[in-house]
Amino acid sequence: MNQADVSKLVSKLRIKVPPKHRKLSSPQGPEGRLNKLRKTVTGLIKYERIELNYRRADEARQYAERLISEAISHGDCHKPTMEIADYWLLEKQLVHKLFKVLVPRYENCNTAFTKMYKAPQAYYGRHIDKAVLELRGNPYPTLTNKQSNNRLLLQNVLLDAAKYDYRQAKYAEMAEKLGKTEEVKSGQSNEDRNKPSN
């Protein structure tokens, strides 16, 4: 059992973090791995949507999330954060983009800053999982065509009509009940009226 490192305070990532890192095969060891990921993270910040191998995408996603959350929590006047941004973004104009564009975009975001989809594989050739990695709020059209909320879809039209029917039936039932009670009441009042006449 190890003690948690208390020297730094990090904000929680909104994505699932695997317990161990992936070793991206590289002759330079861990440094080479980070160099690969730097390229990917730079590309992600630059193009906002990239397609690549799943393993590398998943790793790079975690680093991109961390980078953005650091930038949000510390701002651009914090020297260590600036150093980190300088290390991770190979093109230096992207540092500006990170602090001036992405931080305002994600400041009030309650979800993860990135999205990852599984991409289709090539029909032939080696079997390698592909993924599409994108920043949330990017200017491109959405990748998913999820319109299950579309009210005009056949199933939704049917369900809406069924709901409407059900409500109408309930209202009719309630109205009937009310009518009955009123009848009873009126009957009683009639009796009351009859009594004094008798």
Partner 1 sequence: MSLVIRKSTVEILCAAKWIFRRDCRLLSTLPEKTEIVVDEKERIPGRKTRSYNPILENRHVYPEFLPDPNPNWRNSLREKMERADMLKRRSQIDIPEFYVGSILAVTISDPHAQGKTNRFVGICIERKGCGLRAEFTLRNVVDHQGIEVRYELYDPTIQSIQVLRLEKRLDDKLLYLRDALPEYCTFPLDMDPEILPEGTPVPINPVQVKLKPRPWLERWERQELKGVSNIEEHLKEKDRVRRELRKTPWEKYDLMKNYRKTIPAEEQSEIWNEVYNQLQQMRVSRKKMSRKRTVTTPKTQLA
Partner 2 sequence: MKQRALSLSKTLLLSHNSKGLPAIRCLSTQEALERRHHLFVLEKKRQLEKVGRIEKIEVNYKGIPNDCTLVMNKDISTPYDCARHLGEWHMESSALALLDGSVHWDMHRPLTENCTLELQRFNIAEPQQVNKAFWRTCSLLLGACATVAFKDTVPVHLHSFPGPDIRSGSFIYDVDLPSLPDWKPTPQELHTLSAEYIQLTRKQLPIERLDVSMELALEMFVDNQHKAKQIPSIAKATGKVTLYKVDKYVDISKGPLISNTGQIGRVAVTSVHKLTGSSESDLKQLYRFQGVALPTGVILNHFAFTILTERAKKLNHARSPINPFSESMSAEESIAARA
Applying CB under 8 A, the residues found at the interface with partner 1 are: 1-13, 17, 19, 21, 30-31, 34, 59, 62-63, 66-67, 70, 72-75, 77-78, 80, 83-84, 87-88
Is residue 17 close enough to count as binding partner 2 by CB under 8 A?
Answer: no
As given in the structure block, the two tokens for residue 105 are 């975009």
As given in the structure block, the two tokens for residue 42 are 């730079």
Is residue 153 close enough to count as binding partner 2 by CB under 8 A?
Answer: yes
Beta strands in 22-165 (DSSP E): 49-53, 114-119, 130-135
Nearer to partner 2, 127 or 146 (CB): 146
Is residue 172 close enough to count as binding partner 2 by CB under 8 A?
Answer: no
Residue 106 and residue 92 in contact, taking contact as beta carbons nearer than 8 Å: no
Q: For 68, what's the count of Cα atoms within 13 Å in the CB-facing half-sphere? A: 28
Nearer to partner 1, 80 or 187 (CB): 80
As given in the structure block, the two tokens for residue 69 are 């959350």
How far apart CA 132 and CA 117 sit, in angstroms, is: 5
**Distance, first Cα to last Cα, the chain:** 94
Amino acid at residue number 190:
N
Least gap, CB of 153 to partner 2 (angstroms): 6
Least gap, CB of 95 to partner 1 (angstroms): 14
Closest CA to 66 of 110, 19, 112: 112
Nearer to partner 2, 10 or 162 (CB): 162
- Pick one of 157, 174, 178, 184: the residue that binds partner 2 (CB under 8 A): 157
Size of the site for partner 2 (CB under 8 A): 15
Nearer to partner 1, 21 or 170 (CB): 21
Amino acid at residue number 78:
H
- Pick one of 145, 149, 194, 197: the residue that binds partner 2 (CB under 8 A): 145
Which parts of this chain interact with partner 2 (CB under 8 A)?
A: 145, 147, 150, 152-155, 157-162, 164-165
